[in-house]
Structure 1
């Protein structure tokens, strides 16, 4: 999980840095960033329900699910901007992109840190045996 989260942080920071439009020079596009939504969808559909059986922080109304709501709000707004800029490229605004990214940076980065901490082996041992962990579909 930490590897995925490190990648998302790097991708987020790179998108912010290249918001001046230079991302295209690096072979990137704005829709590439929306991969984060797929990661969260998998967590919510498959991983969180299993973890929530024994770990309160993964239950429906707890911190990880609540963080996802804030992150999804930002990703949804970003998706709307990307669609607008695809149909009207001249409307692209680095300031607007950075403002959108700023709107969910804190909740995203805090969530990434909290989730990695909660999924450390030392914490998981409190709730699951190694045999049970081997049964997780990841």
Structure 2
């Protein structure tokens, strides 16, 4: 599904994405806490990058952390890249889609077992494919 979206111009990204998705995926923005459509989602399915469709998270790894954004204890490491983020005077690990470079959120080391990680991801950066949509 995903093709070489890295070659898209900023104008093409603006046309392709909603203003909120563009802000998060292309400008490393953050949506307001508890505002996203996936925060309380409990359906079985797959979460994909809203920018390019790359598979990122399985619903079996999603949990309620109370942070205000969808949280996962594991991601598809083949399709996710981690980058050091020192913006806003913090030292964090940014999570981006390997296919299109879109900013997804951050990963923290305060999650549940078995990984101990909490991927804190913006809803607007994700599309959801339900297993029951067949």
TM value normalised by structure 1: 0.28
More strand as a share of residues: 2
Structure whose alpha-carbon radius of gyration is higher: 1
More helix as a share of residues: 1
